[in-house]
Amino acid sequence: MKAAMPSIRAGRLALACAALVATIVAAPAAEFPERPVTLVTSAPAGGGGDVLTRYLADRLKAASGATFVIENKPGAAGNIATVAVTHARPDGYTLLAAPSSTVIANKFVIKDTGYDAMRDLAPVAPFLKVGLALIAGPSTHATTVKDFVAELKARTGRPMFYGVPTTSSLFGAQVFLTMTGLTGTRVNYKGMGDAASGVTAGELDFAFVDATLAIGQAKQGRVRILAVSSAERLAIAPELPTVKESGIGDFDYVNFWAVWAPAGTPQPVIDTLSGWINRVVALPETGRFFLSQGAEPLAATPAQLAAMMRTHNDLWVQIARTTNLEPQ
């Protein structure tokens, strides 16, 4: 009997270990999120995109009970923020909030972006769409697009300058120049607000900036909005004509802002985040706030956002061909 004791003890120990393992395996995984979620945005602090993203972060706290914090990483047409997120751990705690032009179109203007959006980012959900506004400063006196173009064409002895803070701004300027036959010198800026300031100071003749920013600047008397880039007039400013109805070809462009996660983020985490974002977007107060800023709420599933990305990519292929746009 004494000789059998070690075997009995070993057997009991094995059973105890098996029970412990079973308990560990059966224990439910910790629910997401356990700590604050960081929304990295390509918008500079205080800009129109920053204001809208902070609104989203604040409402996500209420919708989920989790903490969402904003980290601004402007510069390089939004490329700095995008690269940072593609290199982050794919656990749902570091997300990108940026315009589609930054995520999809940068490869058409930047030789080495350091990422492939379709490969390195997982779509979560869009939250708004916003058009661009063509703004002009004191270098001309025109109040219509037609007169503005005429003034620039009649100018002698002084070159024309236009501001480009983002890829969407570049798109607006390139298509505008192509359709009007104007030529000018491109000046790069870190953010939309900087470009608007350049227009106000007379350093630039024009720039295409987010309508959210332009409307606020126009109310302060800093810039003149000549037209908006969308096919239809803005609900918040129906007095503003569209570029298209101003006689400048078939001009129609609207940017969408969305949230992306690093590729490889677990699908349940993405679905959870998408559900929270869509819940916020559906709130009546969200619609009112976005419209007051010149934007419109936009909801979609991760699969629908992926389809939107493909469509936007195809659009930029056409833009690059039409304007002879080359990555620099």
In this prediction, residue 30 has a pLDDT band, given cuts at 50, 70 and 90, of low
Tokens at residue 181, please? 């036959």
- Residues 234-245 pLDDT 10s: 888 899 999 999
Range 183-209 average pLDDT: 92
pTM above 0.75, yes or no: yes
pLDDT on residue 324: 79
With beta carbons less than 8 A apart as the criterion, state whether 160 and 173 touch.
Answer: no
pLDDT on residue 192: 86
CA nearest neighbour of 222 among 239, 205, 197: 197
In this prediction, residue 26 has a pLDDT band, given cuts at 50, 70 and 90, of very low
With beta carbons less than 8 A apart as the criterion, state whether 204 and 195 touch.
Answer: yes
Distances (CA, A) of 186 to 38, 42, 90, 291: 34, 21, 37, 31
Instruction: Specify the pairing of strand 68-72 against strand 161-164.
Output: unpaired
In this prediction, residue 249 has a pLDDT band, given cuts at 50, 70 and 90, of confident
pLDDT greater than 70 at residue 211? yes
CA nearest neighbour of 97 among 74, 63, 118: 74
Q: Which domains does the chain have, with CATH numbers?
A: 37-130+254-323 (3.40.190.150), 132-228 (3.40.190.10)
Going 183 to 131 to 47 to 102, the CA torsion angle's sign is: negative
Top-confidence residue, 281 or 45: 281
pLDDT greater than 50 at residue 303? yes
Residues 6+ apart with CB under 8 A from 83: 113, 114, 115
Range 146-162 average pLDDT: 92
Top-confidence residue, 155 or 260: 260
The rounded percent of the chain whose pLDDT value lies above 70 is: 91
Least confident segment among 95-104, 204-213, 229-238? 229-238
Which residues are registered as beta bridge partners of 324?
A: none
Highest mean pLDDT of the ranges 165-174, 203-212, 297-306: 297-306
Measure the CA–CA gap between 218 and 209, rounded to whole angstroms.
Answer: 12
pLDDT greater than 50 at residue 328? yes
The rounded percent of the chain whose pLDDT value lies above 90 is: 58
CA nearest neighbour of 174 among 79, 241, 101: 101
Omega within 30 of 0 (cis) for the link into 33:
yes
pLDDT on residue 16: 41
With beta carbons less than 8 A apart as the criterion, state whether 164 and 189 touch.
Answer: yes
pLDDT on residue 207: 96
